[in-house]
Structure 1
Amino acid sequence: MAPMQRLATCFLLIVSPVAVLGQSSSIPDVEPAATFVPATPVAGARLQEAETLQLTDAVIERLVTEQGVSEYAEYFAFDDSTAASDARVRRTASASCKTFSGDSEWPKEIVWDIFNVLLGGALIPTKPIAASCYDSKWGKKDGAKCTEVANKFTDPLFHHADPTSSRWFLSTKLTQAV
Structure 2
Amino acid sequence: MVRVKNRYLVVNILYPTSSPAIKSGDGVPEMVQFYAPTPDSVHAGQLVRVIRDGIGELFGDYGIGMANRTLKITYWSPSTSTAIIRCPREHYEMVWATLTLMTKLPHPNNTPIVIKVVRVSGTIRKAEEEVIRRAKGIVKRAKELEAGKKDVMVESVVQAVDKRGEEAREDVLADVDMDDVDESESD
**Which TM-score band applies after superposition, normalised by the shorter structure?**
under 0.3
Which structure has the larger Rg over C-alpha atoms? 2
Give the TM-score of the pair, scaled to structure 2.
0.25
Give the TM-score of the pair, scaled to structure 1.
0.25
Which structure carries more helix by proportion?
2
